[in-house]
Chain A
Amino acid sequence: MNFCSQGNYDNMTNPNEPDIVAFCCHYSAYAWSQDLQNLPRLGFPENVRLEILPCSGRISIIRLLKAFEQGADGIYVAGCKDDTCHNVRGSRIAKKRVDYVKNVFDQLNIEPERIEMFMISREPNRGFIEAAKEMTMRIKKLGPSPLKGK
């Protein structure tokens, strides 16, 4: 697991693993782990770089695009479940932005599955870890970003 300083998405992890950037809502990220330093011990995949947002609704389209432009193989946003968002509709807004980028990818003939929105219950659960694992599996299947190697 890695933390990336804002705007720097260069992959520092194992080049054989997919490089995934996760933008996570502060609330859902802490809900399971209590302390983010616990995450690797709890099984959070190493190749996923976390960027913690005060609310998933703060994610902008340009940050998602830039993460991809700068080399991420996959991107996801993890926010609260639709009806439990601390900021009422933050995760709903985040989903709309993820959908926007999915649509952009689709139009550019890039697999829209490379970007995803996960809405995870804020109750302590494994959802947060599962999302990271699911995304890792998915991107492994899709292979490296089509922006690489050209």
Chain B
Amino acid sequence: MIVGQRKPIQEIIGMLKGIKNILILGCGGCATVCSAGGEKEVEILASIIRIDRKKKGGPVETKEKTLARQCDTEYLEELKDEVDKYDAVLSMACGVGVNFLADMYPKTIILPALNTSFMGVSEEQGVWSERCAGCGNCVLDKTGGLCPVARCSKHLLNGPCGGSQNGRCEINPDIACVWQLIYDRLKGLNQLEKLQEIFPMKDWSSSLHGGPRKIVREDLTL
């Protein structure tokens, strides 16, 4: 899933300066699953905003709503009859939702309440970590299913570097050295020979470095 985190409260409050009628819009997709921008978090953020305004003596109307997703036209269309009523929509979806709202409602101020962090997993309750960098050119068949692009701090393809010690990454002992994990896994699979080949320089044009990406599936378009 896409994992996000609510922005610091003061940053959100700063964005809302002068805005009196806000739609706080949750997302029922990833943002709900990672407890950053679902129904519950919408309720909390709305209350925080009201408390702040009440303290400062500034009036505010907060409307709380959570769509099934914010990355599909059909759900965003649910807003079309009401979006004009608000001074701004504060989206609690990932950056994708914020963008898509802005694409769709050109006359409405759309603001982000989250920082979109990464594509990752929920390791355990309250702990998320990155697994995929969306580079557009998957190498996992060669690395035992563990991604050096996303999980090596220098995205080395011929690792591990000289800073790998006791299975930890040199930049932060909280980070596992993915190349140690790859080594251990390939050893267990009797595939260590895979690590002896030189991994050629990566084609980054399929990643963000090649410009914004798009997929058109002729078999699916109407």
Residues on A close to B: CB < 8 A? 61-62, 65-66, 68-69, 104, 107-110, 146-147, 150
Q: CB distance A108 to B9 under 8 Å?
A: yes
6 CB < 8 A contacts A-B: A61-B44, A62-B43, A69-B47, A69-B51, A110-B55, A146-B55
Which applies to chain A's interface (DSSP): helix, strand, loop or mixed?
A: helix
Q: Chain B residues near A62 (CB, 8 Å)?
A: 40, 43-44, 47
B9, B51, B54: most-surrounded residue (chain A CB, <10 A): B51
Question: For residue A147, which residue of chain B has the nearest CB?
Answer: B54
| Complex Cα–Cα for A69 and B62 (A) | 13
Residue B212 CB within 8 A of the other chain: no
Within the complex, the shortest CB–CB distance from A117 to chain B, in Å, comes to: 18
Within the complex, the shortest CB–CB distance from B92 to chain A, in Å, comes to: 14
Within the complex, the shortest CB–CB distance from A150 to chain B, in Å, comes to: 4
Which applies to chain B's interface (DSSP): helix, strand, loop or mixed?
A: helix
Q: Chain A residues near B9 (CB, 8 Å)?
A: 104, 107-108
Q: CB distance B54 to A66 under 8 Å?
A: no
Q: CB distance B47 to A65 under 8 Å?
A: yes
Q: CB distance B55 to A66 under 8 Å?
A: no
Binary flags per residue of B33-50, CB closer than 8 Å to A gives 1, else 0: 000000010011001101
- Contact of A104 with B55 at beta-carbon distance under 8 Å, contacts A62-B40, A62-B43 already known: no
| Complex Cα–Cα for A147 and B48 (A) | 12
Residue B188 CB within 8 A of the other chain: no
Q: Which of B10, B44, B50, B57 contacts A150 (CB 8 A)?
A: B57
Determine the interface band of chain B, counting residues with CB < 8 A from chain A: 10 to 19
| Complex Cα–Cα for A68 and B9 (A) | 17
- Contact of A65 with B55 at beta-carbon distance under 8 Å, contacts A104-B9, A107-B10, A108-B9 already known: no
Residue B162 CB within 8 A of the other chain: no
| Complex Cα–Cα for A65 and B9 (A) | 14
| Complex Cα–Cα for A109 and B50 (A) | 14
Q: Chain A residues near B44 (CB, 8 Å)?
A: 61-62, 65
Residue B52 CB within 8 A of the other chain: yes
Q: Chain B residues near A66 (CB, 8 Å)?
A: 47
Within the complex, the shortest CB–CB distance from A111 to chain B, in Å, comes to: 11
Binary flags per residue of B8-42, CB closer than 8 Å to A gives 1, else 0: 11100000000000000000000000000000100
Q: CB distance A69 to B55 under 8 Å?
A: no
* 7 shortest interchain CB distances as A-B pairs: A150-B57, A65-B47, A107-B9, A147-B54, A146-B55, A62-B43, A108-B52
Question: For residue A100, which residue of chain B has the nearest CB?
Answer: B44
Within the complex, the shortest CB–CB distance from A12 to chain B, in Å, comes to: 21
Question: For residue A66, which residue of chain B has the nearest CB?
Answer: B47
| Complex Cα–Cα for A86 and B43 (A) | 29
Q: Chain B residues near A110 (CB, 8 Å)?
A: 51, 55
Within the complex, the shortest CB–CB distance from B57 to chain A, in Å, comes to: 4
Q: CB distance B47 to A147 under 8 Å?
A: no
Within the complex, the shortest CB–CB distance from B95 to chain A, in Å, comes to: 23
Q: Which of B40, B43, B51, B57 contacts A108 (CB 8 A)?
A: B51
Q: CB distance A104 to B48 under 8 Å?
A: yes
Within the complex, the shortest CB–CB distance from B130 to chain A, in Å, comes to: 24
Q: CB distance A108 to B8 under 8 Å?
A: no
